[in-house]
Structure 1
Amino acid sequence: MDHEQLFSSNFKVGAYPFYQTQRQENPIFALQENQGHTSWIVMKYDHVKELLKSQSFIKDQDKLFSTSARDKDEGEPNIFGNMMLDVDPPDHTRLRKLVQPSFNPKTIKQLAPRIEQIADELIEEMKTKEGSFDLIDDYAFPLPIIVISELLGIPVEDRDKFRKWSNTIVAASEQEEGDFLEDVQAFTQYLTELFEKRSNQPEDDLVSQLIQTQEDGDKLSRNELYSMVVLLIIAGHETTVNLIGNTMYALFEHPEQLEKVKADHSLIPGAIEEGLRYYSPVDFSTARWAGEDMDFHGTTIRRGDFVMASISSANRDEEKFDRPEAFNVERERNAHVAFGFGIHFCLGAPLARLEGKIALEKLLDAFPNLGMDTSTTPPAWRRVFLLRGLDSLPVCFA
């Protein structure tokens, strides 16, 4: 498979058979070569975990190349220049420490009543529909965006703006350059005004806390503040939308599993974990570069080579999972890597799991006869390389 095929609009449909073939025949394969460097994709579970954990693969390409120097708070704001996902220790350690308290399991558990209230309100709206609704637009999207907006201190009425901006950023390779730059500029301007407002009038929210940290000293630079909030907004809802939508889609595809969950809600946490494994919300890890020449499981990888993990492939590895192509909400051993591994393990995993659990419980309680609406066009995967999520999921409840 070449570069163009992997990025084609229909790749998601046939991805899993391709992953299986690659795991068996070419588990570390060269995607393309560019200016003397090779781009690699790692397919097998054990190799993926090693890649994600190894300090030999670095996130900050400025350590290797001089062509992408970071903006160190000079000139215009740069909302991508200091992403926590794109730095190594000690910067990563410092940035993660600033937001970790807001996302630890104990703190997240306290959000449960509010998440339940949001789910109830959305469900009441859906009940007014004429027997059908779009599970993505009406439920899977608004629930996490409302939660992360309230956590950060962003007005909920702005959530549709964030959906547009977020879609632009995660699907950057599919966007026209003018549209991309226009949305990034609008996003940046919005955050600039928000930061100014919270700086003058702090509130009890995470944005105010991060601004205070910035003003207290050199712990958080201006562009680190922009990048942190952008990351939290995008990561705080994009993957959870996919988690809820993908898990329900898998349940619809496997009616016997759906009936089990309907009959016994104690199986919902297992359904969430199986959804994370079976249709992983994140298809591929973010970029890493080889910090040195190395032999990686029989493949020679050179310093400066681009390396990416296939999360979805790892989560269907037959050497790790019993009958990996089966969707089983009662799977006993399910050590998936849907949230990553190592120091970049997803900060929001406790929140995503809680939102997913509440979302499914409330949905199946309210609509015991819920099923896919087969009178409409079959669900299609979004054309976003890094992520796996549905454009829409029409359902009926009559």
Structure 2
Amino acid sequence: MVRASMDGREVWLALGYDAVRQVLSDQRFSREAAAGPGSPLVNQAGANPQLLVSMDPPRHTRVRRLMANAFTPRMVDRLAPRVDELVSTLLTDFSRLAQPADLVRHFAEPLPIMVICELLGVPAEAQERIRGWAGVLIARTAYTPAEIGAAIKQVDGYLAALIEERRAAPDEALISALIAVNDEGGHLSPSELVSNVQLLLIAGHETTVSQIGNSLVTLFQHPAQWELLRSDPALLPQAVDELLRHSRLTSATMPRVAVADTPVGEVVVRAGEAVIPLITVANRDPSAYPSPEVFDITRAGPAPHVGLGHGPHFCLGAQLARLELRAALGGLLARFPGLAPAVPVDELEWKTGLSTRALHSLPVTW
């Protein structure tokens, strides 16, 4: 744990593996206090309180349970053949392009929005509009508050109307399941439904776009590992988790604010102080991972990575994220064994102003 300055205010940075896992799981570190109007973090205050990621127990427990009862492993498994079909179609189209071709534009960007819309039951004709709204909401530093507010109003209005359509005429997709789910905690309110469908739709697909690009860059930087994976596709599940550990998708996860004095390692975080867990640093902690800087798709060990979070806010879509990465990488390996970057990896351009590390483009040959 170290002190740092953010927006002119002092915060704690959780760096070590154990410290990050504690901050992510200890209920004395609050998301509501970090995202609410009294937050010591200027750029966090005023976040939508209806979002699952802005809640603490017991409200978080209720909403998460209801969402998990609808967004089941069985639903994700049922989607797997369709994901494979989408990968195959995109790669067939990609193979017809002149070389070099941009793998971000023609594969990494369209695949996740297709998958999440398929999962939720969002019509295909809405995908381009959603990608436009997502571009504004994810790249917030590039847009004015008025532009961001307009995008939020538009996407929320679209989703509210779609939810009412599904309420009147349910289908087999996730939005209908979220409407229908009930337990002893009640059901999701209209505002909870709109906010958290937006969360799944926008954040869910954008992180996967970035992770596909980052994963390919990592594999291009480690040709022996790429060849090992190509020769033994059974290593794909392990490879995906090593990519989630090793690739720098985002340096930090959502901050917390202590609601009570709380020891973390050798320091005490005082009530009201903010903590930012640096998951990238935790995933390279030598106390948790032998030779942590080494990218090794055969890595085995007792320490699970924190690339998908930990504790109550562990990524609800983790199974879907792994499924998409396996399908995307497996499809590329099978169809394009000679896939290679068309420019040196250190000359690739990266987007700015995002919460994730994302490529502008990835020109490749095959």
* TM-score of the pair, normalised by structure 1: 0.82
Provide closer, same or farther for how the CA distance between residues 296 and 64 of structure 1 changes in structure 2, counting only shifts above 3 A. Answer: farther
Which among 97, 103, 117 is matched to residue 135 of structure 1? 103
Match of 2:363 in 1: 394
Please say which of residues 204-213 and 306-315 is displaced more in the overlay.
204-213
Match of 2:55 in 1: 87
User: Map of 1:79-228 to 2, 5 A cutoff?
Assistant: 80-213=48-181, 219-228=187-196
Structure 2: runs of 5 or more not aligned:
41-45
Structure 1: runs of 5 or more not aligned:
1-26, 69-77
Q: Is the 8 A contact 2:167 2:179 kept in 1?
A: yes
Please say which of residues 385-394 and 143-152 is displaced more in the overlay.
385-394
Match of 1:24 in 2: none
Provide closer, same or farther for how the CA distance between residues 121 and 217 of structure 1 changes in structure 2, counting only shifts above 3 A. Answer: same
Match of 1:74 in 2: none
* TM-score of the pair, normalised by structure 2: 0.89
Aligned residues: 359
Which among 219, 222, 227 is matched to residue 254 of structure 1? 222
Q: Does 1:346 align with 2:315?
A: yes
The amino acid that maps onto 1:39 is V
Give, in angstroms, the shift of residue 64 of structure 1: 7.8
User: Map of 1:7-46 to 2, 5 A cutoff?
Assistant: 27-32=1-6, 38-46=10-18
Query: Deviations along 1:183-222, whole A, 9 cap, x unmatched?
Result: 22221222232223223333222222333459x9952222
Q: Is the 8 A contact 2:34 2:274 kept in 1?
A: no
Provide closer, same or farther for how the CA distance between residues 199 and 376 of structure 1 changes in structure 2, counting only shifts above 3 A. Answer: same
What SS class does the counterpart of residue 167 from structure 1 fall into? helix
The amino acid that maps onto 1:182 is A
Which among 328, 334, 353 is matched to residue 365 of structure 1? 334
Please say which of residues 351-360 and 375-384 is displaced more in the overlay.
375-384
What SS class does the counterpart of residue 60 from structure 1 fall into? helix
Query: Deviations along 1:167-190, whole A, 9 cap, x unmatched?
Result: 322332443223212222221222
Give, in angstroms, the shift of residue 375 of structure 1: 7.8
Q: Is the 8 A contact 1:45 1:320 kept in 2?
A: yes
| CA RMSD between the two structures | 2.7
Provide closer, same or farther for how the CA distance between residues 188 and 64 of structure 1 changes in structure 2, counting only shifts above 3 A. Answer: closer
Mapped to 1, the partners of 2:310 and 2:250 lie a distance apart of: 13
User: Map of 1:49-64 to 2, 5 A cutoff?
Assistant: 49-61=21-33
Provide closer, same or farther for how the CA distance between residues 105 and 193 of structure 1 changes in structure 2, counting only shifts above 3 A. Answer: closer
What SS class does the counterpart of residue 389 from structure 1 fall into? coil
The amino acid that maps onto 2:305 is H
Please say which of residues 272-281 and 120-129 is displaced more in the overlay.
272-281
Give, in angstroms, the shift of residue 242 of structure 1: 2.2
Mapped to 2, the partners of 1:285 and 1:67 lie a distance apart of: 16
The amino acid that maps onto 1:113 is P
What SS class does the counterpart of residue 304 from structure 1 fall into? coil
What SS class does the counterpart of residue 322 from structure 2 fall into? helix
The amino acid that maps onto 1:290 is A
- Give the fraction of aligned pairs with identical amino acids, expressed as a percent: 36
Give, in angstroms, the shift of residue 372 of structure 1: 0.5
Q: Is the 8 A contact 1:245 1:389 kept in 2?
A: yes
Provide closer, same or farther for how the CA distance between residues 64 and 388 of structure 1 changes in structure 2, counting only shifts above 3 A. Answer: closer
**Structure 1 residue ranges, 4+ long, deviating more than 4 angstroms after superposition:** 62-68
Mapped to 2, the partners of 1:180 and 1:133 lie a distance apart of: 32
